[in-house]
Structure 1
Amino acid sequence: MRRQRHAKIVATVGPASASPDKLRELYLAGVDTFRLNFSHGTHQDHAAVHAAIRALEKEVGRPIGILQDLQGPKIRIGTLKDGSFALSEGETIRFVLEGRDGDRTSIPLPHPEIFEAILPGQDLLIDDGRVRVKISGLGQDYIEARVVTGGRISNRKGVNLPGTVLDLSPLTAKDRADLAFGLELGVDWAALSFVQRPSDLIEARALIGERAGLVAKIEKPSALEHIEDIVRLSDAVMVARGDLGVEIPPEEVPGRQKELVRLCRLAVKPVIVATQMLDSMVGAPTPTRAEASDVATAIYDGADAVMLSAESASGQYPVEAVAMMDRIISKTEQDKAYRAIVTALRSEIEESAPHAVASAAGNLAQAIHAPCIVAYTSSGTTASRIARTRPDVAILAVTPDENVARRLCLLWGAHSVRSEDIHTYEEMVEQAEVHARTAGLAQPLEFVVVVAGVPFGMAGTTNNLRVVQLRPDRV
């Protein structure tokens, strides 16, 4: 079940894909990590999907990652008179803190933190930016604004505030309950929505500990202002282009995407590019050419993973969408320009022994035409350091920890396997031979590069590099 590509696929589970049979089809089509979107569905729904994925994992004999995506604080207007009305460019409207069945002079906005933080001249967007207003005046319990881009608004539509940092935790009471449930189930990753500042991650880490990897979703301009600290405090990053593309100008999104991918690669953190990648496949069996190019661009950028949302959760062609994404990734990585582009984007290697050893592994594998690099990793760090260099061979990540093996399903190029602890060089060589052959990555008499840390089993000690020739008598 080894993928013939380096970049990974994350697929969201929903009504179109929640059955055990459909999950199996999606996995066979190319899914490496399944996303459980806690903005929708009940705990019972998610528990059933989680159990089905773990049963599938046993059936196929391969680790499968599960990512829990928390909803985060959703800011919405309240209810309106007659359910909706149209706003015209240039007119003045008023938002109020309390009220219901509002009109253009009393649109309910029941979020005190907005009234405390927003300033005149700042923008407020409604319904994913379809309606844009600029704040012109403030009162204790009202906000006046001028309509810049008109349109119809209706009950409970979402609100974005691109220029305003709110005194708001990204973890609502619902998120805390969902997170506790997800950790009890045993999710591998927990994604934090609407991160604004580094302290948001510290708050989440206190709840999660080491029970799951922490993913920071980048969808707020304020997060971009503190991006280096946010990346440092997270275990992985998701470039959530949906809300991000509403809160910053659309023309800035491609550059920000490239910047985030490069930054995460430098920091040795997996990065997922998400939202509307094959959006037309929600209702059509093939994507647009622009969407195919969008997926390919993320792969050329060096992203660890690309993600499907509605395409696999509620679309009519979930399996076809995964298969299409798999083909686009594979074809892109086979393109003659791919290796040159990925190598050109390679970050400077940190001046430390672990990073130097990991970098040397890729160069050595290329020099001796090794078919794979075997990385012994107790925490996933050794494999991540090797993946950072984007070597032109598979990374066989061998770990004694089942949870680490599952998290590595998000890492570029990693084919993770669970194995017993090793204690001696002899065991290291023997297991490297066995796993390389069992995975179909190497044949007898071929050389493989082996990277490990000594003492064995100690996290973060990438300090040993060996070349091992597979013997013909090994099974």
Structure 2
Amino acid sequence: MPSKKKTKIVATLGPATSKKEVLKKMMLAGVDVFRINFSHADYEDVKERIKMIRELNEEMQIYTSILADLQGPKLRVGVMAGEVVVAPGDEITFVTGEPFEGTAEKVYMNYTNFPQDVKAGERVLLDDGKLMFEVVSTNGKDEVKAKVIQGGPLKSKKGVNLPNTNISLPALTEKDVKDAIFAVSLDVDWIALSFVRFSQDLIDLQNIIKEHSEHKIPIIAKIEKPEAVENIDKIVAYCDGLMVARGDLGVEVPAQEVPLIQKQLVLRAKKARIPVIIATQMMETMITSLTPTRAEVNDVANSVMDGADAVMLSGETSVGNYPVQVIEKMASILQSVESSELINVPHDPPHIRTNRYITKSVCYHAAIMANEIKAKAISTLTNSGYTAFQISAWRPSAHILVFTSNKRILTQLNLLWGVKAFYYDKYVSTDETIEDVNQIACKKGFLDVGDMLISLAAMPIKDKGMVNTLRVTEIETCNF
């Protein structure tokens, strides 16, 4: 049986995770979501991996989720001619147009509008901020002159960050549109959009999904630019989840500001009742070592204490030497801290009277009551998954068991904190259905005789309407 931890683990696929046996071990060790990084994805390869994951889900009767992560506008320099080193005070020219081999005086930049967008005095960061330049002048057409502030080796195809520049590129590039259509054709569970800055970025992706799929595929906005942090309220209104992408964020804003931004974004997601993933360098040393550093263990634990739904591994599972061991280690950290009373979740009851106000209120009170009566689980029957999002955001100490006949949401819900979803399609009388799902929960090891359980349902059950009923039961028998 996979572990009963409540915080979810997102693992990135890559060369280290190409065998079905490795994927199976990772699932058993605690992976809840597999991430496809479209920055380095081969379509045939992706199809093969998704097929393996779905076969394993079927074989093991679990619902591992698939997240497609779009690359977004990646700015890069071109290929260098041999070893190139720049020193503080040197001048260098960035040239757009036709690619060429770069030198210490002149390098190719793949971002055509760079000379039009950039202004004198703005910073240009390269290779995750290892190199720093200041713009001296631009001809507004195809050349930008810059002065080296922080020097070092200038390597081929390294990423460029422009923290002060208002970039005219859309978040969805041509490559992203193509990748999104491909991901939608494979029925992935979630799509993440990189370098989101404005709500329009998300609306554009929603339109692509609508055009190519009959189903709603939820979108995760990756927050990695200062504009996104400023526009967070508008972004939250158009996405279904957030990812704190600390890699680029830590280059675009001063690194010391990232911890507080992380806390602020987690809080914002909780208020919006949407899941939030913390990503980048969580267990980085485990790419080559069997032991994480104390700081990494602390980082993972603190992300849970902040209230993150999920923590993400990138290089650790895509190219690392120990893809299974890193999951085991992470799962053990999560389990040891996630039930702590030090975790503070904002408990403001819902007050905006939308058409779902009753459902929200029932879910809020179920979570509060579960903590008061020390209920082992909250079970809910749902067709849309809405109640799962709501209850999860309140972080009850009980397990959240979701029963649904909608196969699409089974894997989607696997990203949400504390949620375990089960396929169930016998909607009969209320008493019979609730008794039935209770026995499934017993069988799966979530309930025992004497445990308290809170059941949520929409009455009458066969109508599959909005949740309007809360019922408390003490488990008297576990027959299975």
| Range into which the TM-score falls when normalised by the shorter chain | over 0.9
Q: Which residue of 2 aligns with 1:326?
A: 331
Distance 1:234 1:166 in 2: 22
What is the identity, as a one-letter code, of the residue corresponding to 1:70?
A: L
User: Do the aligned partners of 1:265 and 1:347 also contact (CA within 8 Å) in 2?
Assistant: no
Q: TM-score, normalised to structure 2's length?
A: 0.93
Contact kept, 8 Å, 2:245 with 2:280, in 1: the verdict is yes
Distance 2:428 2:179 in 1: 39
Residue 72 in structure 1 maps to residue 75 in structure 2: no
State the Cα distance separating 1:471 from its structure 2 match: 4.4
**Is 1:85 aligned with 2:90?**
no
Task: Tell whether 2:181 aligns with 1:176.
Answer: no
Change (3 A) 1:428 1:164: farther
What is the rounded CA distance, in whole Å, between the counterparts of 1:458 and 1:103 in structure 2?
69
Partner in structure 1 of residue 97 of structure 2: 98
In the alignment, which residue of structure 2 is the partner of 1:304? Answer: 309
Q: Which residue of 1 aligns with 2:161?
A: 160
Cα distance per residue 1:285-305 (max 9 Å; x no partner): 110111000100101111000
Cα distance in 1 between the residues matched to 2:296 and 2:265: 20
What displacement does 1:364 show? 1.8
Contact 1:266 1:347 in 2 (8 A): no
Bigger shift: 258-267 or 365-374? 365-374
- 1:147 equivalenced with 2:152 (yes/no): no
Stretch of structure 1 that moved more, 301-310 or 154-163 = 154-163
The residue matched to 1:16 in structure 2 has which SS?
A: helix
Q: Is the 8 A contact 2:219 2:240 kept in 1?
A: yes
Matches within 5 A, 1:166-315: 166-209=167-210, 210-315=215-320
1:370 paired with 2:375, answer yes
Task: Point out where structure 2 has 5 or more consecutive residues left out of the alignment.
Answer: 352-356
CA 1:157–1:142 in structure 2 vs 1: closer, same or farther (change >3 Å)?
A: same
Instruction: Identify the residue that residue 13 of structure 1 maps to in structure 2.
Output: 13
What's the CA shift for 1:445? 4.8
Distance 2:104 2:298 in 1: 42
TM-aligned CA distance change 1:245 to 1:317, over 3 Å: same
Q: Which letter does structure 2 place at the counterpart of 1:179?
A: A
Residue 201 of structure 2 aligns to a residue whose secondary structure is helix
CA contact (8 A) 2:136 2:145 kept: yes
**More displaced stretch, 93-102 vs 409-418:** 93-102
The change in CA–CA distance for 1:468 and 1:432 in structure 2 (over 3 A counts) is farther
RMSD over aligned Cα atoms: 2.0
State the match for 2:384 in structure 1.
Answer: 379
Residue 405 in structure 1 maps to residue 389 in structure 2: no
Change (3 A) 1:397 1:269: same
State the Cα deviation string for residues 37-88 of structure 1 (Å, max 9, x = none). 22223111111110111110011111111111122221111234x2342222
The more displaced of 227-236 and 253-262 is 227-236
With over 3 angstroms needed to count, the CA separation of the structure-2 counterparts of 1:427 and 1:164, relative to structure 1, is: farther
CA contact (8 A) 1:6 1:412 kept: yes
Equivalent residue letter for 2:198: R
- Retained in 2: the 8 A contact 1:280–1:286? yes
SS of aligned partner of 1:112:
coil
Secondary structure of the 2:56 match is: helix
With structure 1 as the length reference, what TM-score do the two structures score?
A: 0.94
CA deviations 1:416-435 (Å, max 9, x no partner) are 11111636423442333233
Measure the CA separation in 2 of the matches of 1:251 and 1:207.
37
Which runs of 5 or more residues in structure 1 are unaligned?
none
Q: Which stretch of structure 1 is more off in the superposition, 235-244 or 206-215?
A: 206-215
Between the aligned partners of 1:381 and 1:319, the Cα distance in structure 2 is 32
Which stretch of the first structure deviates more once superposed, 403-412 or 376-385? 376-385
Count of residues in Structure 1 that have an aligned counterpart in Structure 2: 469
8 A Cα contact 1:2 1:415, kept in partner: no
With 30-39 and 279-288 compared, the bigger mean Cα shift is at: 30-39
Equivalent residue for 2:112? 112
CA contact (8 A) 1:433 1:474 kept: no
Q: Give 1:390-469 correspondences, 5 Å limit.
A: 390-420=395-425, 422=427, 424-454=429-459, 456=461, 461-469=466-474
One-letter amino acid of the structure 1 residue matched with residue 87 of structure 2: S
Equivalent residue of 2:220, what SS? strand
Structure 1 pair 457/178, CA: closer, same or farther in 2 (3 Å)?
A: farther
Q: 1:175 is aligned with what amino acid?
A: D
CA separation of 1:111 and 1:418: change in aligned 2, threshold 3 A: same
User: Contact conserved, 1:376 with 1:383, CA < 8 A, in 2?
Assistant: no
- After superposition, the Cα gap between the structure-2 partners of 1:359 and 1:398, relative to the gap in structure 1 and judged at 3 Å, is same
Give the letter aligned to residue 154 of structure 1.
Answer: K
Q: Per-residue displacement from partner, 1:235-265 (whole Å, max 9, x unpaired)?
A: 1111111111111111011111111111111
Closer, same or farther: CA 247–439 of 1 in aligned 2, 3 Å:
same
- Report the CA distance between 1:313 and its aligned residue: 1.0
How big is the shift at 1:411? 0.4
Q: Cα deviations across residues 218-243 of structure 1 (Å, max 9, x unaligned)?
A: 11112111111112211111111111
